[in-house]
Amino acid sequence: MEDKKVKISIAHLYPKLLNLYGDYGNIIVLKKRCQWRGIEVEFDEINIGDKITDHDLYFIGGGQDKQQEDVAKELLTHKSELITQRDDGAVFLGICGGYQLFGHYYQPHDKDKLQGVSLIDAYTVAGKNRFIGNVTVETDFLLPNTLVGFENHSGLTFLEGDTKPLGTTVIGNGNNGQDGSEGARYKNVFGTYLHGSLLPKNPHFADYLITLALEKRYRQKVELPPLDDTFEYLAHKSVVEKAY
């Protein structure tokens, strides 16, 4: 990239409705890890009624079924733009309730099915139990190869077609507590049940997402300069050690 100011645009989708369990911490990490490297961040909050304009990276957090209902209706009106963005290489990160809406549908217990935007080939049905607790996941695309976080969901997510999991659960339930999978990835769309918030304890995943978003924007390979992540990895290791 020439030496003019490097920029990245980040959109936070429906923060007033889907921002449970501190998922806003992921936005703070993405912004800070860019700013610490001198990367200018163009940041927008997208709320109900707003247009979804082009961004390099979109984030959506988790929430209760009621808030998911309101967001699902709104998100559906933007389905084709979101699919166009996905196919153009934009990065998406969805946590829990937001992740569920990336799929084809979320079927709550005793309510109508919520249509998703089908960014990934997956569906979610409400389970009988609530999965709550620490989760450690082994991935095949990150170094270190682990992701850590905290899950709190009753939805059971099943992946289909070319949508692959982020990894396999070493501890915790992940997508459905049955097939050992956690999260999902298709193209640059990532979903996960990991709250925490996720990225403060997983700086390598935060940089992975930032790199993909910059490569989408500048259409060239990007290598981020390293940051001192001593404390972040101490926090990461403290969860991993409980799992093995």
**Piece of the chain touching ligand GLN by CB under 6 A; list 9-17, 28-36, 149-157, 166-174:** 149-157
Q: Which of 115, 134, 152, 168 binds ligand GLN (CB under 6 A)?
A: 152
Q: How many other C-beta atoms are found inside a 10 Å radius of the C-beta of residue 108? A: 18
The two beta strands, 146-159 and 122-139, are antiparallel
Q: Which of 25, 63, 174, 183 binds ligand GLN (CB under 6 A)?
A: 63
* Catalytic pick among 12, 96, 204, 236: 96
- To the nearest whole angstrom, how small is the minimum distance from the Cβ of residue 24 to ligand GLN? 13
Q: Which residues in the 192-231 window bind ligand GLN by CB under 6 A?
A: none
Q: Does 62 bind ligand GLN (CB under 6 A)?
A: yes
- To the nearest whole angstrom, how small is the minimum distance from the Cβ of residue 210 to ligand GLN? 24
Q: Does 155 bind ligand GLN (CB under 6 A)?
A: yes
- Whether 89 and 119 have beta carbons less than 8 Å apart is answered as no
- Whether 96 and 114 have beta carbons less than 8 Å apart is answered as no
Residue with tokens 């109900």, as numbered in its chain: 48
Cα–chain-centroid distance for residue 168? Answer: 16
Angle between helix 203-218 and helix 24-35 axes, rounded to 10 deg: 70
Contacts of 73 (CB under 8 A, 6+ apart): none
- To the nearest whole angstrom, how small is the minimum distance from the Cβ of residue 100 to ligand GLN? 6
**Piece of the chain touching ligand GLN by CB under 6 A; list 77-85, 147-155, 173-181, 200-208:** 147-155
Residue 195 annotated to the active site: yes
Q: Which of 9, 19, 26, 68 binds ligand GLN (CB under 6 A)?
A: 68
For residue 15, the one-letter residue type is P
Residue 96 annotated to the active site: yes
- Whether 71 and 64 have beta carbons less than 8 Å apart is answered as no
- Among candidate residues 135, 65, 129, 137, the one with its CA nearest the CA of residue 97: 65
In angstroms, the CA 123 to CA 152 distance is 18
For ligand GLN, the closer of residues 18 and 240 by Cβ is 18
Q: Does 178 bind ligand GLN (CB under 6 A)?
A: no
Q: List residues near ligand GLN by CB under 6 A.
A: 20, 62-65, 68, 96-97, 152-155
Any idea which residues carry the catalytic annotation?
A: 96, 195
